[in-house]
Amino acid sequence: MTTTQESPTAAGSGANASENFKASASSQEIADTPPERVAAIVTDVLKGVHDAIAKHDVSYPEFQAAKAWLMAVGEGGEWPLFMDVFVEHAVEAQVAASQQGTKGSILGPYFLPDQVRLGSTCKLPRRDDEKGTPLVLSGQVRDLDGTPLGGAEVDIWHADADGYYSGFAPHVPDGNLRGVVVTDDEGRFAIETVQPAPYQIPTDGPTGQLIGAAGWHPWRPAHLHIQVRAEGHRPITTQLYFAGGEWLDSDVAEATKPELIIDPQDDGTGIRRSTYDFVLESA
């Protein structure tokens, strides 16, 4: 078979993010939702399911196929992947409605806490033979009123030039292309890394099988994940995308926003450079 890029296996690309989610669940905010609200939300979710069954005259074999698929998602550890690809953008839109400053985007399943802390001008950890076009992202973190935020944390993680994430794809060393960059006194940072590739949902796992069965495509455009944190300020979780990049207009996770597209330019030495400033709201 000749394809420009091999389809990643679910295990190889790290679709199984369940263990990471469970391990980080203590640091994540898990709601203690009152019964009336649980009832109200779940009633509407179930009504959506019941309505779809009636509308499409769903058969018993289709109902059993759905159960088998749901079991496979759990057994394959793909609930974080499925939820973040197909549901998280709707939650993020609710949060975004009340957040000023830099636009947010979804966290996704591949964030890892406690990565190496780096100075304001830095190079992300990478392999000696790391593939990919050099990329430098620089900018400033500021308050809504323009005050530079020194000592802010720019937590960045992204896929490599083949679309794989460290910590999830077994062949990529831990910590690769991840770091917590601390801004200087003027809130500035300059991060050297490599251009990531688009991300393909693994086609052999249940999420990929659903995508195939529905005739959709399994791609996210190339992106950098970034979470910016500063004392006394509301953190922002976002992603940056690349102008002209493939899948920008049809992200399977529906997580792109026009304000989050950068357009790095070659500086004449083969390094692509872009600036992006992050603006945080006071907490």
**279: which 2 tokens?**
């603006």
Work out how close the CB of 158 gets to ligand MBD at its nearest, in angstroms, rounded to a whole number.
8
Check binding of 110 to ligand MBD (CB under 6 A): yes
Which of 104, 109, 134, 245 binds ligand MBD (CB under 6 A)? It is 109
Q: Which of residues 70-109 bind Fe ion (CB under 5 A)?
A: 108
Query: What are the E-state strand segments in the chain?
Result: 117-118, 121-123, 134-143, 153-158, 178-182, 188-194, 199-200, 219-220, 223-229, 236-242, 261-262, 265-266, 272-275, 278-280
Residue 268 gets the label, from left (phi > 0), alpha (psi -120 to 50) or beta, of left
Cβ-based neighbours of 111, under 8 Å, separated by 6 or more: 24, 157, 225, 227
Q: Could you give the CA distance from residue 207 to residue 283 in angstroms, rounded to a whole number?
A: 37
Q: Which does 84 bind (CB under 5 to 8 A by kind): Fe ion, ligand MBD, none?
A: ligand MBD
Check binding of 112 to ligand MBD (CB under 6 A): no
Which one, 181 or 201, has the nearer CB to Fe ion? 201
Residue 29: how many other CB atoms lie within 10 Å: 6
Binding track over 201-240 against ligand MBD, x by CB under 6 A: -------------------x--------------------
Q: Which of 174, 161, 280, 273 is nearest to 226 (CA)?
A: 280
Check binding of 253 to ligand MBD (CB under 6 A): yes
Which one, 247 or 276, has the nearer CB to ligand MBD? 247
Q: Which does 253 bind (CB under 5 to 8 A by kind): ligand MBD, Fe ion, none?
A: ligand MBD
Which of 10, 73, 106, 152 binds ligand MBD (CB under 6 A)? It is 106
The residues of the shown chain that bind ligand MBD, judged by CB under 6 A, are 81, 84-85, 106, 108-110, 199, 220, 253, 255
